Structure 1
Amino acid sequence: MRNFGRTAGRKRKSKGNSGGVRRKKRQLFDGVTGLFLFLVLVIMVSPLLLIVSYSFMGSGELKEVCGAVLSGMKGMAGFRFFPAYPTLRAYVQILLDSPEFFTSFWNSCIQTGGILLGQFLVAVPAAWAFANFRFPGKNVLWFLYMLLMILPFQVTMVSGYLVLNKIHLMDTFAAIILPGMFSTLPVFILRKTFAAVPREIIETAKVDGADEFRIFLSIGLPLGKAGIFAILILGFLESWNAIEQPMTYLKTAAYWPMSLYLPQIMEKNASLAFVASMIMLVPALLLFFFGQDYLEQGIAASGLKG
């Protein structure tokens, strides 16, 4: 009996030791993972911090730090997270004495707002129809939607140019808004969101005498709110930062959005370019932070999460 007790004690002790080893390994793994994620975060956030810092630098200090990149000076570009001589001169100049910036800013607002309004009016009903209606050619049409979604802009650029030129919309806001409002990604996201609406609710509404349009307004839109906000946020981020479409379809500088305005002033006045970049970042950051929950819910409902 004594030998049995000693053997059982050794087993319990060895199990305790193995549990402690596993705990230490898990803590070590968690620590290494946390350190790696922190380094990744620093690398991702560093460009944003540099933009904030450089926006408070004067032209002379910027030339000293980034002259090798911005002015073709010899040497290496440096990094300076805190300006030695902070100044608000560039902010005052671009906010009070830069009409070109305000023109490009409102151009971005008009183009992005038109695209979002168009996506709401086109993508939302289209996704509801794909999710709830049966009609001839539905699978073929959905296949075409998916095909267009995976094609990059470079593939459809020439055909889009020819169509817009034929209908005399080149070099207008409509040349940016019309292709954007018929984007297929919002339909893909919302289709699964609307497909998750319980059929019992829809059938009950039909029994109560509601027609399809009333069901869409009273049931589809409220229950698909997360997905709708998600596509609007994604559409805003894509349209606000778009550069290839405006560069292809807009030739007159008076119609250029900020994404085309920034490269033009970078060579002339780097201080103004960094301040304009800061101002351009603010709407996207605010929209992302305040709409993050809707974005996560919408992407989760669409089945895109990993």
Structure 2
Amino acid sequence: MVKRVLVNLILTAVCLFVWLPLLLIAGNALMSEGEMLERFGALFGVGNSPVKAVFLPEYPTLRPFVELLLDSPGFYVMFWNSCLQTGAVLGGQLLAALPAAWAFAHFGFRGRKALFFLYIILMIQPFQVTMVPGYLVLKQMRLLNTHLAVILPGIFSAFPVFIMAKFFESIPRPLIEAARLDGAGEFSIFARVGIPVGKPGIVSVIVLGFLESWNAIEQPMTFLKERRLWPLSLYLPEITSDKAGVAWAASVIMMMLPVILFVMGTESLEQGIAASGIKE
């Protein structure tokens, strides 16, 4: 009993530590400009008073949100860019990764293990390693400074293939053999057995892919030179210190979609990661 209580206390403390920055952001987004300078003036080079962080300001106001949503047209442009780029990446990943993962899981062909090992190598490579080759390829294809410069590399990411291949391998063989005995072809088995049974893995791919694309900074910063093409992840660093309240408000709005999607897909995400054999 004591051990269980101790574990619960430790887990609660860890959860509070994780949620602490989010609660501070939400509280600061409701802070007026005057209170912002009073509490964080030292960070902006105004005065030497110590920083006084709070979860809820003394006089909450929605002015930062009003200024962001009504007086910041650039926010909507970058928000749309984020939606366009992330949506296209996720749709492309599903079209490219699901058939590839099914082939790795259920088709036997020469070089299958070597090719899958290559996928794993590509998956663990950081962006900095592939940045220069990717830049040269996109330049040769004349896709730099277009949405496709961010979308195409994301579509052919190796991580969704790895997740779904492991999940498809966990589908019971008797279920697939029963479908073959009923006269189903390979595509029919994939569409009517693989995709429905693999739904938790597909949801996990969508959630993880969304988080990666929505929060991407290095890729758009490298491949997109014009501000009109920038996603929302590049909007926040451009906000000056005198618009700190707007920055907090933009941070809250930017976090809403990932948090909602993550909460809705937590159960499927756990099943997908467990099936893929990934352990923290």
TM-score class, shorter: over 0.9
Among 85, 108, 111, the alignment partner of 2:82 is 108
User: How far apart are the structure 2 equivalents of 1:264 and 1:181?
Assistant: 27
Judge conservation of contact 1:63–1:71 (CA < 8 Å) in 2. Answer: no
1:281 to 2:255 alignment: yes
Look up the match of 1:182.
156
Q: Where in structure 2 are there 5+ consecutive unaligned residues?
A: none
1:68 to 2:42 alignment: yes
Among 157, 165, 169, the alignment partner of 1:191 is 165
Among 120, 123, 143, the alignment partner of 1:149 is 123
Judge conservation of contact 2:68–2:249 (CA < 8 Å) in 1. Answer: yes
TM-score normalized with structure 2 length:
0.95
- The one-character-per-residue Cα deviations of 1:103-142 (angstroms, maximum 9, x if unpaired) are 0100000010011001100111110000000112212211
User: How far apart are the structure 1 equivalents of 2:226 and 2:241?
Assistant: 20
Q: Please state how far the C-alpha of 1:74 moved relative to its aligned partner.
A: 2.9
- Corresponding letter in the other structure for 2:112: K
Among 205, 218, 239, the alignment partner of 1:244 is 218
Judge conservation of contact 1:127–1:194 (CA < 8 Å) in 2. Answer: yes
- Corresponding letter in the other structure for 2:190: F
1:58 to 2:32 alignment: yes
User: How far apart are the structure 2 equivalents of 1:71 and 1:277?
Assistant: 22
1:82 to 2:56 alignment: yes
Q: Where in structure 1 are there 5+ consecutive unaligned residues?
A: 1-25
Q: Please state how far the C-alpha of 1:266 moved relative to its aligned partner.
A: 4.3
| 1:216–1:90 Cα change, 3 Å | same
User: How far apart are the structure 2 equivalents of 1:140 and 1:152?
Assistant: 21
Structural RMSD (CA)? 1.5
Equivalent runs, 1:94-243 vs 2, <5 Å: 94-243=68-217
Look up the match of 2:19.
45
User: How far apart are the structure 2 equivalents of 1:79 and 1:286?
Assistant: 26
**Percent identity over paired residues:** 52
Look up the match of 1:22.
none
Aligned residues: 280
